[in-house]
Structure 1
Amino acid sequence: MLASISGLGAFLAYFATALGLVALYLLIYTLATAHDELMLIRRGVTAASIALGGSLVAFTLPLAVAIYNAQGLLDCAIWGLVGLVVQMLVYWLVRLALPDLSRQIAAGEAAPALLLAAASLAAGILNAASMTY
């Protein structure tokens, strides 16, 4: 049985690092947007949930690959930060294309939220694939 859990320490270290990076991502992302995602989600605005949820999944895809390929915790954290930067760039690019993005999401418009989620996921998939070097 001890052999079965011999990697528990490494698991906990990588999992804690990943949770820290996810928390950092959510903090930075929610500060960068012009709308308050959590307040909107609490009010039942589906568009906010679609946009934030898509972005969160899109960030965790390359983070999972970073964990898989990492040479250590620092390597994992650095590549996780790369994933964070990529997702922030995607948000700003979509916002350039749709300057009224935050107002539309706050108004519950699904189309811009779905575009943001899809762009985030596309970038997350490409980012994850690029980390397989």
Structure 2
Amino acid sequence: METITHSLSGLFSFVIYFAACLVALFLFKHFYTKVTPHDEWKLIKDRRNSAAAWAFGGATLGFAIALGGAASNSVNFLDFVIWAIVALAAQLLAFKLIRAFYMPRIVERIENDEVPAGMMVCFISIAIGVLNAACMTY
């Protein structure tokens, strides 16, 4: 019984951090679709655009990986919130860098449902999330 009580002692913190992560994911969706010139969510829902689904899915997964790093390495809730904001900024910056230096026509290619372009955004976004999470250790 003591083991169960000890295990559940962190339940409140789990609920708070998990709820904050869900809110952060919602905010990510909002900001990501504002930063990109096209609304991936609308392309996915209305036009069943696979390239947008790959790009947005990868960006979301990359952010979630970084968010997990922030949650597991933070020393308190405020520290977590700060690093979650850093993770959000890094993912948004990743798209800007892809567009500026790697694939200048990425917006047009995603809007035209060019799946390889969406996949590249996906995998670069995941890579950014992994690196972001790894760099959050101190």
Do both proteins adopt the same fold according to a TM-score greater than 0.5, normalized to the shorter chain?
yes
1:81 equivalenced with 2:85 (yes/no): yes
Task: Give the counterpart of 1:129 among 104, 126, 134.
Answer: 134
Q: Is the 8 A contact 1:37 1:52 kept in 2?
A: yes
TM-score of the two chains, using structure 1 as the length reference: 0.93
TM-score of the two chains, using structure 2 as the length reference: 0.90
- Alignment correspondent of 2:21: 18
Q: How does 1:107-126 map to 2 (within 5 A)?
A: 107-126=112-131
Q: How big is the alpha-carbon RMSD for the aligned residues of Structure 1 and Structure 2?
A: 1.3
Q: CA deviation at 1:80?
A: 0.7
Cα distance in 1 for residues equivalent to 2:33 and 2:105 = 17
Q: Name the SS of the counterpart of 1:34 in structure 2.
A: coil
Cα distance in 2 for residues equivalent to 1:101 and 1:80 = 26
Cα distance in 2 for residues equivalent to 1:23 and 1:58 = 14
Q: How does 1:1-133 map to 2 (within 5 A)?
A: 1-42=4-45, 43-96=47-100, 97-133=102-138
Structure showing the higher helix proportion among its residues: 2
How many residues align structurally?
133
Stretches of 4+ aligned residues off by more than 4 angstroms: none
> Which residues of structure 1 form unaligned runs of 5+?
none
> Which residues of structure 2 form unaligned runs of 5+?
none
Q: Percent identity?
A: 38
